[in-house]
Amino acid sequence: MKSETKSKALYDRAVKLIPGGVNSPVRACRSVGRNPIFIDRAQGCRIFDADGNEFIDFVGSWGPMMLGHRHGSVMAAIEKVLERGVSFGAPVDLEVEMAEMICNAVSSVEMVRMVNSGTEATMSAIRAARAYTGRDVLVKFDGCYHGHADTLLVAAGSGVATLNIAGSPGVPEATIRHTVSLPYNDIPAFKKLMAEKGKTVAAVIVEPVAGNMGLVPPDPEFLHELRSETQKHQCVLIFDEVMTGFRLAYGGAQALYQISPDLTCFGKIVGGGLPVGAYGGKQEIMAQIAPEGPVYQAGTLSGNPLAMAAGLATLKELQQPGFYESVEEKSDRLSSGILRIAERIGIPLSVNRVGSMMSIFFTDRVVKNFEDAKTSNLEVFSAYYNKMLEKGIYLPPSQFEALFVSSAHEIADIDLFLAAAEAVLPELIK
Ligand code: HOZ
């Protein structure tokens, strides 16, 4: 057994002062029946806890660490900007460079506003869409998670799914009266809703590849229907690419599936591991944002030089020839390896992967939506999580999250994961 003395002592102190001992719920590890381990430091794809235990990290800070931890270029950019200051609450050159980089990378984005988290990005994009259309109704999909803004806490994934929270107390009924949640990948349900209510819909928001009910790929036809129906009814299509942006391709999921939304939300990778978010899209929608237009949205730390420098350095690395191909090769080795082992030992599981995002669901169903994901055996997942951790593999502690492969993972690290799985999976069917 790995020692957890120091993590335990930190948790005992934390739990007295921080709700659940954590600053974001999933990391509390409650759904896998244990206390969290506290992290001391990380390097590349390795993460080290307060007790000195070493793990191969497949969480990557829930997505931002596409280059692994403490990548040389990112560290150098942070060190360089520290000589100038960390926040001025005033415009800086680096945010112009960031806006240019995002708009050049993602062709649907003509104007962009930096914020400080994915939650801020989605709530601001929705406000812009409602103002632009003069309508209120918001359509989302079950199991998609778009942050913790009131309007979006309906049938949400991520921590809401992990903790099995039906709806959050504190969210007034009136706030979610205009939110409709439909099954993901269900074209008939979406077309029916649009036929009945399309003229009242301000926006349709979707994770183009869902990562918050575990990883669930879209039926490409589903995304095409979202685009054509929103065009037909003149509502705003918002892609939440907080996780997928710059990860599945340099141009995000929209480049991969060749669909152009009206607005896109970003986060995670664009901050290189520092707190960040961004939303952008069509000029005529974004031009409504204050001070160019009347739609109010603001932030003291928005576009701060520290986050911009880390993000810019990260995005520049992603442009290296062969970057995505190399991560794809390692991710494919991981998913096909797991499937091979599972087939050999006869354990029912389903593996979903798109690029460097992946989930293993302990169910015999093909997982196409939240209902399928919820058929997973959570006890088996919990045992799997804990046994893998004991073998030095650090995974998201929830069936309803995705794991992330970074460029810092070597083939040998992938093979260490597979060796651990080879030992752990048979124990799960005993
Ligand atoms: N909601 C994030 C994952 N999709 C973060 C989870 C956490 O840090 O607890």
**Tens-digit pLDDT profile for residues 251-266:** 999 999 999 999 999 9
Residues 265 and 359 in one domain: no
Number of H helices, E strands in the chain: 15, 14
Q: How far is CA 396 from CA 41, 85, 153, 286, 318, in A?
A: 17, 34, 21, 35, 24
pLDDT for 163 beyond 80: no
pLDDT at residue 140 is higher than 70 = yes
Question: What CA–CA distance (Å, rounded) separates 55 from 41?
Answer: 11
Whether 291 and 331 share a structural domain: no
Say whether both 131 and 274 belong to one domain.
Answer: yes
- How much is the average pLDDT of 331-348? 97
Answer whether residue 305 shows pLDDT above 80: yes
CATH number of 148's domain: 3.40.640.10
Distance CA 349, CA 377 (A): 10
CA–CA separation, 167 and 169 (whole Å):
7
Spacing, Cα 243 to ligand 1 middle (Å): 11
| Strand pairing class (54-57; 111-115) | unpaired
Is residue 47 scored above 70 in pLDDT?
Answer: yes
Q: How many angstroms from the chain centroid is the CA of residue 392?
A: 23
Ligand 1 lined by 3 (C-beta under 6 Å): no
Does 201 share its domain with 168?
yes
**Measured CA angle at 209 (ends 23, 311), to 5 deg:** 55
Q: Provide the residue type at 321 as one letter.
A: P
Per-residue pLDDT at 169: 81
Q: What is the pLDDT at residue 330?
A: 98
Specify whether 107 is located in the same domain as 201: yes
pLDDT at residue 153 greater than cutoff 90: no
- Convert the pLDDT of each residue in 2-38 to its tens digit: 999 999 999 999 999 999 999 999 999 999 999 999 9
164 and 238 in a single domain? The answer is: yes
Task: Tell me the C-alpha to C-alpha distance, in Å, between residue 241 and each of 133, 206, 229, 271, 351.
Answer: 22, 9, 20, 13, 21
290 with 131: CB under 8 angstroms?
A: no
Q: Is the CB of 229 under 6 A from ligand 1?
A: no
- pLDDT of 426 reads 96
Q: Is 143 in the pocket of ligand 1 (CB under 6 A)?
A: no
Q: What pLDDT score was predicted for residue 53? A: 98
| 249 and 214 Cβ atoms separated by less than 8 Å | no
User: What are the C-alpha distances in Å from 389 to residues 351, 409, 416?
Assistant: 19, 17, 12
Please identify, by atom number, the ligand 1 atom nearest to the C-alpha of residue 401: 4
Range of the domain at 85: 72-318
Q: What 3 state SS string does 97-117 have?
A: HHHHHHHHHCCCCCEEEEECC
Same domain, 271 and 226: yes
For ligand 1, the distance from its centroid to the CA atom of residue 150, given in whole angstroms, is 17
Distance 198 CA to ligand 1 centre (A): 32
**What is the pLDDT at residue 73?**
98
Please, are residues 338 and 419 in contact by the beta-carbon 8 Å criterion? no
- 184 and 45 in a single domain? The answer is no
Q: 340-370 pLDDT, tens per residue?
A: 999 999 999 999 999 999 999 999 999 999 9
Number of domains observed in the structure of the chain = 2
* CA dihedral over 33, 7, 17, 115, signed as positive or negative: negative
Tell me if 375 CB under 6 Å of ligand 1: no
75 and 241 in contact (C-beta within 8 Å)?
A: no
- Distance, in Å, from the CA atom of 96 to the CA atom of 187, rounded to the nearest integer, reads 39
Going by pLDDT thresholds of 50, 70 and 90, the confidence category of residue 383 is very high
Query: Does residue 249 share a domain with residue 121?
Result: yes
3-state SS string for 275-292: CCEEEEECHHHHCCECCC
Task: Give the end of a domain, one of 293, 318, 343.
Answer: 318
> Which residue, 293, 115, 134, is CA-closest to 203?
134
Same domain, 263 and 224: yes
Residue 70 — pLDDT band, cuts 50, 70, 90? very high
In this prediction, residue 164 has a pLDDT band, given cuts at 50, 70 and 90, of low
Query: What pTM was estimated for this model as a whole?
Result: 0.97
Shortest-distance Cα residue to atom 1 of ligand 1 = 158
Closest ligand 1 atom, residue 158 Cα: 4
Query: Whole-angstrom Cα distance, residue 382 to residue 307?
Result: 35
Q: Is the CB of 159 under 6 A from ligand 1?
A: yes
Last residue of a domain, one of 318, 343, 373: 318
Just list the catalytic residues.
145, 240, 268
In this structure, how many other beta carbons lie within 10 angstroms of the beta carbon of residue 178?
A: 16
- Candidates 120, 106, 108, 105; CA nearest to 282 is 108
Tokens of 153: 């806490």
Whether the CB of 24 sits within 6 Å of ligand 1? yes
Burial class (CB in 10 A: 0-12, 13-18, 19+), 268: buried
90 and 103 fall within a common domain: yes
Residue nearest to atom 9 of ligand 1 (CA): 26
Q: Average pLDDT of 326-346? A: 97
In the beta sheet, which residues pair with residue 115? 277
Is the shortest distance between the CB of 26 and ligand 1 below 6 Å? yes
Percent of the chain with pLDDT over 70: 99
Whether the predicted pLDDT of 151 surpasses 90: no
Regarding whether 168 and 253 lie in a shared domain, the answer is yes
HSE on the CB side for 232, CA within 13 Å? Answer: 11
Atom index in ligand 1 nearest the CA of residue 402 equals 4
Taking residues 109-137, report their average pLDDT.
98
Does the CB atom of residue 62 touch ligand 1 within 6 A?
yes
Task: Output the average pLDDT for the chain.
Answer: 96
* Angstrom distance (rounded) from CA 134 to CA 234: 11
Segment (H or E) for 414: helix 411-428
Cα 399 to Cα 213: distance, rounded to the nearest angstrom: 8
Q: How far is the CA of 407 from the centre of ligand 1 (A)?
A: 21
| Nearest residue to 265 (alpha-carbon basis) of 392, 118, 56, 166 | 118
Out of 22, 23, 24, give the residue to mutate to test ligand 1, the one with the largest number of ligand atoms within 8 Å of its CB.
24
Least confident of 78-87, 154-163, 179-188, 285-294: 154-163
Residue 50's domain is classified under what CATH number? 3.90.1150.10
Ligand 1 centroid to Cα of residue 290, in Å, is: 30
Last residue of a domain, one of 318, 353, 368: 318
Distance CA(165)–CA(259), nearest Å, equals: 33
